[in-house]
Amino acid sequence: MLRDEPVNSPLAHPDSLIHLMDWTLDNFFAELRHPSTLPDDILVAPRNPHEAAFASPDDAALCPCARNPFIAYFATAECALVEILLPLLSADSQAASLATARAALQRIARTEISTFCAICQQRHDDGRCTAGHAAAGSSR
């Protein structure tokens, strides 16, 4: 699934991101065991169970320049998570279990995405992104 995502920088290349999968899974299971106390407003509800909350790499709220490799990485992780969990869950627990799993992954994703954006070389000191105007008009 990760190889199907567009590569917008060398850091977004699947061969680079694949090395994060063990780390992501370790953090995901730790987050399920001991949820962090991030505010709920960072969580994004997907439109349907097969859709990732981070589906759009052009989401200006996440990354104005749309070059953050973690957006596609976590969107793919969320889609894979749903594909794996859906057949394993009973219909009664499906919605609640998926919401819990997604919330855990989204907390990790938001932290990593915002951390990467904080060191982005496209940003000005005031937090504005120099490439943001270009990303807003781009389409994928």
Q: Which residue has the tokens 């097969």?
A: 50
Strand partners, 72: none
Which carries the bigger pLDDT value, residue 138 or residue 123?
Answer: 123
DSSP the chain: -GGGS---SGGGSHHHHGGGHHHHHHHHHHHHHS-----GGG----SSTTS-TT--TT-TTT-TTS--HHHHHHHHHHHHHHHHHGGGS-TTTHHHHHHHHHHHHHHHHHHHHHHHHHT-TTB-TTS-BTTHHHHHH---
pLDDT in tens, 48-78: 544 555 544 445 566 777 778 888 889 889 9
pLDDT score for 28: 92
Give the pTM.
0.69
Q: Which of 114, 125, 27 is nearest to 63 (CA)?
A: 114
Q: How wide is the angle at C-alpha 43 spanned by C-alphas 41 and 47, nearest 5°?
A: 120
pLDDT band (50, 70, 90) for residue 96: confident
Residue ranges of domains in the chain: 2-44+55-137
Least confident of 7-11, 31-35, 59-63, 64-68: 59-63
